[in-house]
A = this chain, B = another copy of it.
Amino acid sequence: MRKGDAVADFDFAEAMDILHRTPAVLDEWLRGLSDEWVMQDEGPETFSPYDVVGHLVHGEKADWIGRARIILEEGEGRTFDPFDRFAMYEESKGKTLPDLLDEFAALRAENLVALEAMELTGEELDRTGTHPELGTVTLSQLLATWTVHDLSHIAQIARVMAKQYKDEAGPWREYIPLLDR
């Protein structure tokens, strides 16, 4: 394989390819793992792997696709509703991790069907909306961020689980910067 060109510039199909995969990746990784792995976080107001999946579920309901529709239908005049990063602390109550993985997979599939059905043109990808804190953003920036948000939370899950073996790794700890991040 050759060293590829950078993805550089937002490419809708490339982004979709990541967005489609995340539910199955999380499922292979987390379903059936013990609570010891999935319920630990990094301290107050941080996320356990279980919290992350709940947070992703909330994003499918309250964030990405809804904001895409606002940009396309209402433009900059209608500021996005603020997104509650901690909504899952309440919303996940009573749900198991397998429940959340199922819910995430179903919502993500549904949202990507809706997104693909929009058949977005380059002109539409450049349309703008108003973020409550960040100001003007484009639809392509929203979709790129959705993609990066998945990847960022995968990295977070890996870090949170790895840290459980911070001491257990003994002297090897110094070779693994993730353990002290």
Contacts and interface: CB of A to CB of B under 8 A. Distances in A.
A48 B88 CA distance: 33
Given A140-B168, A151-B178, A4 B158 contact: no
Contact of A145 (B29, B147, B172): B172
Nearest to A50: B1
B148 A4 contact: no
A159 to B, nearest CB: 6
Contact of A162 (B135, B148, B159): B148
Interface string A60-89: 000000000000000000000000000000
A137 interface: yes
**Looking at A25, A131, A147, A164, which has the most chain B CB atoms within 10 Å of its CB?**
A164
A24 to B, nearest CB: 5
A5 to B, nearest CB: 6
B37 A14 contact: yes
A161 B172 contact: no
A7 interface: yes
A154 interface: yes
A155 interface: yes
A36 B21 contact: no
A155 B158 CA distance: 6
A25 B33 contact: no
Contacts of A145: 165, 169-170, 172, 175-176
A17 interface: yes
Interface in A109-139: 131, 134-138
B141 A168 contact: yes
